[in-house]
Structure 1
Amino acid sequence: MTITEEGNADASSWRSVVRENDPRTTGTAVTAPREVEQQRLHATLRSTKSAVVIGDAGVGKTQLITRTVEQFHKSIPSIVICSIYVDETDTSLLDLIGAPTDLPRTNAAIIQTHLLEWVAQKTDTNAAAILRIEDAHLLDEASTQTLATLIQADILTCVISMRSAAARHKPWSTLLHNGCAVRLELKPFSRRETEAFLQNELGGPVTADSAWRVWRHTGGNPYHVAELVRDQISHRAFFEIEGVWMWDGNPQPDPQLHDIISDDMERFSPEARSLVETLAFLGPMPTHLLYDLATDQEIAALDRRGLLTVQTQQQADGTREQVTGLMHDLYASAVRTRVSRRRRTEILAYISDEISTIESYPALRSRFVELAVESDFAIEPQLVIMTTRSLLAEYKPRTVIRLASRADSLMPTTENLIKLLTLRAEAWRQVDSPENAKRDLDQVCELIDSMPDSAWPAAAAMVLSHARVEAAVHQYHYDQPEAAIAYLHQRRDWLAGRLDAAEAKPWLDAIDVSILTHSGYAGKHDEVNAASIALLVQGSHPERLVPLACPAVLGLADQGDVLGAVELSRRYVGVAYAHLDQYQWGPAEILAAHSLILYWAGDIEPLVTPHPTVSTDSDPALVDRVSDHLGRALIAVVQGAWSTAATEFHAANARFAHTDMTGMGAYALYGEALAAAASGASANAWALLERADATPRRTMKVVNSELDMLRIDTLCWLRDKSAITAAQTLAQRANEQGFARAELEALHRFVVRSVAAVPGYGPQDTLPQPIADAMERLHELSSVVTGKRPGLLVEHAKAMAAGDTDLASIRERDLARCGLWLAPINEPVDLTRREREIAALAAGGMSSKAIAQRLVVSVRTVDSHLSRVFAKTGVHSREELARVLR
């Protein structure tokens, strides 16, 4: 089978699906979306054409056929369904239809004659028949060929189920390619479908990273997803924080899976059993290496049974290669529990002798080293360090901690121990355990200080790695940016005093980039951004600059060159992908910055279009899956879907309450407060604002002004008069720091809310001096800050200052189309949260159909809510509604 993200079934509707009627999948019901496939199969049977339903065990083939056949039989009662269930490998159709045992099982003509006679006996003279065969991949060669011939000659209408692997082999591949039968392939759940299934099972939202882990463990197989969830619920591994579910468990195979594997192992030859055990321990391997371990026939037999998965993966040198592994992690885990320690050592010895190119495959090397260390199998210390670094690049910090803790006593030199402890410290940091990270870093510091002067030229890289992790702990976990920057300066001076100028330059340059990066994340754009942008534009050694790109482009946008920041961030996304071996988090960081800058620019079309790879699981870069929630929340904000935004921000906040390695918790809290206020949940919004104000901003100091603007907009939605003072304060601070974009945004809110606060203000009134001064400054900023949204903000402020309510309403709708939905300025109307949301979208110029699509409701529901809104507000059109809601 091949697990991919693309092309999976639509998850818009959910049905109860009975597991496959075979030894692997008998039991209670699971859930899978199969409405489209059922309609297609029904139409195929009506056309009297045969159908082949393809998929792996547990995806719902048997249930789909059963449900469709029952429905078809109800519509045409005269149809006779002749069913055959195959449950043993290499079974003859003659055995299944009760033919005499003395007949030869390899004669296709005899099989065809007796099969047609059997079908005829089941039907009346004039009745039509459909032959249903479950698990046709288990039939012997003669029966398979007979069945294919009957379908090709259109002698019988058949509906057949089989495993995906069997469909890749003749005669089925030829039959389907020629269109003699309709192919219906049932794919495993996608990650989003897995998330929807978990939400349905648990009765509440689930964090995206939990759904991702479940999906990866099960391969998206509906049966195994259901079993894992129910097992982990019984072990209390799913836990709830503020109504959001998370999973922090270590799944174990269920007893039924152990029974399946026992049955499999008894059927396998010794060579095939050895291959399965090897794949269970070492995971997916380059396909060409499998032929060193087993014959073509044995590999093909495992493939036909659906035990192998074939994927294409990117290798260390950037090339893509086909790899083969077992069906999913749970199956492999169950196999591993059956293998003795002696057998593990045999596998290690065999692999180390037979596969001399193991260093060329980082994932394979990682699993080999993990197994070797666990089994006390002797390996080179450098291989352990190389593997630990690769595991960090794969974002497996817990595996790194486990491996490094077992291997630290195996390090023969101080240099090796320093490297291993530094890597473990970074792993502790990635699981949000700064205390443990600091303990390792302190030990590394002592070891570095004890090194002789002669070791310094070779040890500079270790000093740089240690300094980077130490600075990250100070700034991103303890919210001590000054301490982080001071430590980097200290290590810079330390290296400069121990190396000559030529030796020191590349290391000092690298530390300088780190200092600029940490200063940017501390929000010191006014101090360092000129130097940062100069480095990025120059582009010398761009691989060293990838970590700097995110804070630098955000600073550039805040200083007013929003469109320049859009282009520079777009350029460095490509650079980050080209140098993934240097910094695996680069693409995700820069894409997040790029999305926020697009929002500031008012360019929402590319913002709402998912990135072609980072939004799936095929991306080679590292992505913290909490960013799925933040990305979906931002899209909901620009679309004015406040309830959706609140849900996504809330899920992110639940994850951040558990662990927040990225330090983005404050941003998510302010975002949820805004969405809650805009949805009409005032009490919740005030509580969230209080939490957000008390939360250290850590990494998000890089966009301090955006957090302040989120707070101001929340106050505007809450109709709190302190929004005016807060906007004025932010505008003054932004002016002092040279943040033109933030100043323009703050001045706009100051003008709009101040004008609204003047009783009876109209076109003939004179502007109060503070508002007149703000308008003058806005006019100056309009020539400095680039982008569509900044220009519309100035135009809207002008309309408000002129007392032109009609023009102000038009500009508000223009801003809404750019992703900015402003809080109304009139006295609130007593509307429900859903009525308020729909009314705001309607006032923004959206049709009922567009609103229904955005909020995933029916057009009738939208119109019903709008009619109540019109009744409550006393208006009769959407144009009048816009004025009432202003």
Structure 2
Amino acid sequence: MEHWDFVGRADELSRLRTVAASPAERGLILSGAAGIGKSRLLHEAVAALPASRWAVHRASANIASSGLPFGGLAQILPADPPAGLSPAGLLRWAVDRLQQDAAGRPIVLAVDDAHLLDAPSAALTHLLVREGATLLGTLRMSEPVPSPISALWTEGLVAHAELAPLTDADSHALLTALVGGAVEGGSAQRLGRLGGGNPLLLRELVMAAMGGGELEQAYGFWRWTGRLSLAPSLAELVDARIGGLTPGVRDVLELVAFGEPIGLALLLRAAAPADVEAAEERGLIRVVEDERRHGVRLAHPLYGEVVRRRCPVTRARRLQATLADLIESSGSRRRNDLLRVAVLRLDSGTAQDGALLLDAAAQAFAGFDIDLARRLSTAAHDAGAGYPAAELLATALLFADQPERALAVLDATPDAGVRWIHARAAVEFFGLGRPQAADTLAAARPADPGGAARLRAFESFVRLQLNELERARELALGVLAEPAACGAAHALAHCVLAFLAGAAGNFGRARELIGTVVERTAEWRREDPTVQYALQMAEGTLISVALDLPAIDRVLTAEFAGLAQAGGFGFGSGWVSLLQAQAAWLRGRTDEALSATERACAALAPTRVYDGSAHYARANIAAIRGDVMLAEAELRDADHAADGTVGLYYHWREQARAATLACAGEIDAAVRVLLAVADRLRSDGFHGHELLARYDLVRLGRPELAGQRMAELGATVGGRAAPLLVRHTRAGEDGEAHLTLAREFAVLGYQVFAAEAAAGAVRIFRAARDPRALAASTLLADVLGRCDAIRTPALVAVQPALTVRERQVAELAAGGVRSREIADRLFLSPRTVENHLQRVYTKLGVNGRNELAPALRLLPQ
């Protein structure tokens, strides 16, 4: 990790190289914080300048050379200046020598840390620019700059810009380069936030985490445990940036470190205004406006880590108690004030209110911060908050993939009531994969109608997972008919019915039911926040069966997706990743889809219910890419991981199996699998899923096996995609129909379907020697150009294999090279070249050279 690949900064790098090559510009100076990447960026910019065209001189100023005349540019100046020259004469001599050595080439002067240049070096740099040299330089922000250097941009000779922190995407790319592999999304987000867009700090963070064993690899992804090892080099780096502190400024920094974001008004009540101003002026804190309020944060997230670790325990507890008092005295008006106060009370040792801790734990759980919910609910339980705290703790442990501990908590708090039965059944089924939990729920007969409705609602949800569909529907309808049922029971019943409606292709009804649950969030969120999981499952089914790409995009950018990925919520994180994978492969972005399924495998690995689902999805993506070895391996892993507890998603398994068989060339076997699963889906009433399974038959070139039933399904299944899928089934040997469908698929974002429809048009037109084959080939090539690797049976049919020599001849001919010249280049006879071309025309189904280029673009590289 001592030297990592250069990532990001594409715009800044391009700007520096443009300035270096431009005869009209004299230079660009970039300023930024220490470690922001200025030096590396400057190195990359000048490394690409060939010495044959430019006279490039590199210099790096430092503190040691700043007191020596010309020390800053000693690396580039000749060692033998004439004796007796005046200071002005030395400057003139240096400029003349550098211009002489350049021999007519433009001079590019690259100066790192130009703020440390000694006065003569700064004057020489200024003079060189005035004499025609180009300056590329860096400065450290907030450091004094020699007057000759600052005059360069104040006089308009060179441009001056501030180098911004790395973007989130660039930080993620740098993380990948540092660890040498993919980083799990939540871990990348948290490490990137701590790094603050500073490459040096991020590198030190990763080195500390790896050295301390806090970065672990599973399923091809690096995952950070969340524990931060403050290696001496990291602590020293942060200390250097913070610098010496007066007692007052230290107090401000500690208050913000423990309380951020803290309201400016509160901070001014707790600390001297002059100290707050001094901390802001030194760049240690920043004031941000949030909803017309002014909040204070540390200038860099790592400041907080170092300050909190260095703060003595007694002072830390006093500061946290003070902050809790301040927030409570202000009325706790903000949405998360309750949570902040509870955490501060807990950390300061002043937490005595079990109800406060329990309310805060419920709020943390509702935000899917599973670790914090577990910590607060443990404290609430210890503070005597009773069974509700035990139940929430058990639920948090379940969501943290610790079902045995969850069961132990419940068993240590025996309560034969409805909530205890519900909570224990949830752990039994979703945590330990025991289907008999459904029978336990059914056997319970509470006298209270409301309590009975709560159990029936949860039993309905469990029966749904077991694919006992009619019983699930019957139970859900019974709950909705019960006047005494609570809001959470109603919401869960609505989610079950919404799932069934979505799977059946009744998307309008599913949206209506989901909308009802969302509108009544306040009724169930506090009583049973786990309903959120059922809601997301129902919505995910709706939008994935409908192939509703805009809706998937909205879900993936909504709050839940971010919380699920970052909060330690394995079920939710896996669900989000599977949605990302579906949207990506439909759009032809199979690299992204494969990565998303890998994240899903990692997120769902600890679960005993859904682990196989991610592997089936991964097998499907691998098959679409034509990677039969990976597809078969993932199918084996999926079959091994799936324990049969959840039977609801059998269509994923069978469609992945069919895709893998087709990828291996076993089309007949794949067809048999699809016919069987389509018939089962029809029997279960999952007509939306059935439509997709039968469309897979069309994609395998067997539309006659799907046609009649697809027409029937098209009359009942909603959404924008269904009419196109039905029309594709009916297209037959009408090449123009296939071509039109390809364009419509592409407009809606279904690039894989567009490519396969275009391939159908190419096949039909080629067979008929129809000149429209050129347009079809061009469209197919354009679609494939927007995609990653795709190699489905429909595409393989129009991608015949050429020999190496045939490919060479064809590519030259497509580029306009005449046959005789091709013969000369390849040491062949003209007749042999023509023979090769005729075989290529026959294989590709084209009529001549003018159709070769788009046809060749269809072939795998």
- 1:483 Cα offset (Å): 1.6
How has the CA–CA distance of structure 1 residues 60 and 232 changed in structure 2, closer, same or farther, with 3 Å as cutoff?
A: same
How has the CA–CA distance of structure 1 residues 708 and 277 changed in structure 2, closer, same or farther, with 3 Å as cutoff?
A: same
- 1:696 Cα offset (Å): 3.5
- 1:791 Cα offset (Å): 3.5
Cα separation, 2, equivalents of 1:482 and 1:470: 12
Match of 1:420 in 2: 389
CA contact (8 A) 1:522 1:699 kept: yes
CA contact (8 A) 2:711 2:726 kept: yes
CA contact (8 A) 1:474 1:484 kept: no
Cα separation, 2, equivalents of 1:642 and 1:121: 55
CA contact (8 A) 1:55 1:185 kept: yes
Q: Percent identity?
A: 20
Query: Which structure has the larger Rg over C-alpha atoms?
Result: 2
Match of 1:855 in 2: 788
Unaligned runs of 5+ in 1: 1-15, 17-26, 88-95, 98-113, 160-181, 314-318, 450-462, 497-503, 757-766, 826-841
Instruction: Confirm or deny that 1:723 pairs with 2:666.
Output: no
User: Residue by residue, what CA displacement relative to the aligned partner does 1:719-747 show, whole Å, maximum 9, x if unpaired?
Assistant: 25443443343333333332223344445
Instruction: Confirm or deny that 1:207 pairs with 2:184.
Output: yes
Match of 1:381 in 2: 354
Match of 1:39 in 2: 14
Give the one of 170, 188, 193 matched to 2:166: 188
Cα separation, 1, equivalents of 2:348 and 2:33: 34
User: Residue by residue, what CA displacement relative to the aligned partner does 1:177-224 show, whole Å, maximum 9, x if unpaired?
Assistant: xxxxx644412330x333322322333333223322322443343222
Match of 1:632 in 2: 580
Q: Give runs of aligned pairs for residues 335-374 of structure 1, distance below 5 A.
A: 335-355=307-327, 356-357=329-330, 359-361=332-334, 366=339, 369-370=342-343, 372-374=345-347
Match of 1:155 in 2: 155
How has the CA–CA distance of structure 1 residues 814 and 596 changed in structure 2, closer, same or farther, with 3 Å as cutoff?
A: farther
For the residue of structure 1 that corresponds to 2:433, the secondary structure is coil
Task: Give the count of matched residue pairs.
Answer: 734
- 1:523 Cα offset (Å): 3.7
Match of 1:650 in 2: 598
CA contact (8 A) 1:666 1:692 kept: yes
User: Residue by residue, what CA displacement relative to the aligned partner does 1:828-879 show, whole Å, maximum 9, x if unpaired?
Assistant: xxxxxxxxxxxxxx9897454543343299xxxx9xx979669689114599
Give the one of 364, 367, 370 matched to 1:391: 364
Match of 2:441 in 1: 487
Q: Give runs of aligned pairs for residues 533-612 of structure 1, distance below 5 A.
A: 551-562=496-507, 564-565=509-510, 594=539, 597-604=542-549, 607=552, 611-612=556-557
How has the CA–CA distance of structure 1 residues 639 and 577 changed in structure 2, closer, same or farther, with 3 Å as cutoff?
A: farther
How has the CA–CA distance of structure 1 residues 436 and 875 changed in structure 2, closer, same or farther, with 3 Å as cutoff?
A: same
User: Residue by residue, what CA displacement relative to the aligned partner does 1:75-130 show, whole Å, maximum 9, x if unpaired?
Assistant: 9989999998799xxxxxxxx99xxxxxxxxxxxxxxxx99999556655963686
CA contact (8 A) 1:312 1:323 kept: yes
Match of 1:306 in 2: 283
How has the CA–CA distance of structure 1 residues 420 and 480 changed in structure 2, closer, same or farther, with 3 Å as cutoff?
A: same
Cα separation, 2, equivalents of 1:51 and 1:546: 60
Give the one of 379, 400, 404 matched to 1:431: 400
For the residue of structure 1 that corresponds to 2:597, the secondary structure is helix
Give the one of 220, 223, 233 matched to 1:256: 233
Cα separation, 2, equivalents of 1:257 and 1:789: 53
How has the CA–CA distance of structure 1 residues 310 and 589 changed in structure 2, closer, same or farther, with 3 Å as cutoff?
A: farther
| Amino acid corresponding to residue 237 of structure 1 in structure 2 | E
- 1:439 Cα offset (Å): 0.9
How has the CA–CA distance of structure 1 residues 219 and 597 changed in structure 2, closer, same or farther, with 3 Å as cutoff?
A: same
Cα separation, 2, equivalents of 1:324 and 1:844: 59
Give the one of 245, 251, 255 matched to 1:268: 245
Cα separation, 1, equivalents of 2:777 and 2:481: 39
TM-score of the pair, normalised by structure 2: 0.70
- 1:244 Cα offset (Å): 3.5
CA contact (8 A) 2:578 2:617 kept: no
How has the CA–CA distance of structure 1 residues 852 and 699 changed in structure 2, closer, same or farther, with 3 Å as cutoff?
A: farther
How has the CA–CA distance of structure 1 residues 775 and 635 changed in structure 2, closer, same or farther, with 3 Å as cutoff?
A: closer
Q: Give runs of aligned pairs for residues 305-324 of structure 1, distance below 5 A.
A: 305-308=282-285, 322-324=294-296
Cα separation, 2, equivalents of 1:269 and 1:329: 21
| Amino acid corresponding to residue 476 of structure 1 in structure 2 | F
- 1:259 Cα offset (Å): 2.6
- 1:436 Cα offset (Å): 0.6
Give the one of 107, 127, 134 matched to 2:131: 127
User: Residue by residue, what CA displacement relative to the aligned partner does 1:432-458 show, whole Å, maximum 9, x if unpaired?
Assistant: 1111111112223x1x35xxxxxxxxx
How has the CA–CA distance of structure 1 residues 418 and 297 changed in structure 2, closer, same or farther, with 3 Å as cutoff?
A: same
CA contact (8 A) 1:204 1:245 kept: yes
Cα separation, 1, equivalents of 2:19 and 2:522: 45
| Amino acid corresponding to residue 368 of structure 2 in structure 1 | Y
CA contact (8 A) 1:401 1:427 kept: yes
User: Residue by residue, what CA displacement relative to the aligned partner does 1:443-479 show, whole Å, maximum 9, x if unpaired?
Assistant: 23x1x35xxxxxxxxxxxxx66545533332332233
| Amino acid corresponding to residue 386 of structure 2 in structure 1 | L
Cα separation, 1, equivalents of 2:559 and 2:728: 36
Give the one of 614, 620, 632 matched to 1:686: 632
Cα separation, 2, equivalents of 1:213 and 1:655: 16
Match of 1:667 in 2: 613
For the residue of structure 2 that corresponds to 1:134, the secondary structure is strand
How has the CA–CA distance of structure 1 residues 124 and 346 changed in structure 2, closer, same or farther, with 3 Å as cutoff?
A: closer
Cα separation, 2, equivalents of 1:156 and 1:811: 57
CA contact (8 A) 1:374 1:406 kept: no
CA contact (8 A) 2:9 2:166 kept: no
Match of 2:811 in 1: none
CA contact (8 A) 1:673 1:686 kept: yes
Cα separation, 1, equivalents of 2:307 and 2:32: 22
- 1:227 Cα offset (Å): 1.5
How has the CA–CA distance of structure 1 residues 247 and 480 changed in structure 2, closer, same or farther, with 3 Å as cutoff?
A: same
- 1:788 Cα offset (Å): 4.3
| Amino acid corresponding to residue 258 of structure 2 in structure 1 | F
Higher relative contact order (CA 8 A, sep 6+): 1
Cα separation, 2, equivalents of 1:50 and 1:582: 64
For the residue of structure 2 that corresponds to 1:854, the secondary structure is coil
Cα separation, 2, equivalents of 1:589 and 1:572: 10
Unaligned runs of 5+ in 2: 65-71, 74-116, 758-774, 807-839
Cα separation, 2, equivalents of 1:626 and 1:384: 29
User: Residue by residue, what CA displacement relative to the aligned partner does 1:645-668 show, whole Å, maximum 9, x if unpaired?
Assistant: 3343234223433x338x442221
Match of 1:277 in 2: 254
- 1:309 Cα offset (Å): 5.1
Instruction: Confirm or deny that 1:732 pairs with 2:683.
Output: no
For the residue of structure 2 that corresponds to 1:874, the secondary structure is helix
Match of 2:142 in 1: 137
How has the CA–CA distance of structure 1 residues 745 and 388 changed in structure 2, closer, same or farther, with 3 Å as cutoff?
A: closer
| Amino acid corresponding to residue 425 of structure 2 in structure 1 | A
Instruction: Confirm or deny that 1:478 pairs with 2:432.
Output: yes
TM-score of the pair, normalised by structure 1: 0.68
| Amino acid corresponding to residue 432 of structure 1 in structure 2 | D
Cα separation, 2, equivalents of 1:546 and 1:53: 56
Cα separation, 2, equivalents of 1:427 and 1:797: 48
Instruction: Confirm or deny that 1:332 pairs with 2:280.
Output: no
| Amino acid corresponding to residue 786 of structure 1 in structure 2 | G
For the residue of structure 2 that corresponds to 1:292, the secondary structure is helix
Cα separation, 1, equivalents of 2:702 and 2:780: 30
Cα separation, 2, equivalents of 1:711 and 1:122: 68
User: Residue by residue, what CA displacement relative to the aligned partner does 1:301-321 show, whole Å, maximum 9, x if unpaired?
Assistant: 3334333355667xxxxx785
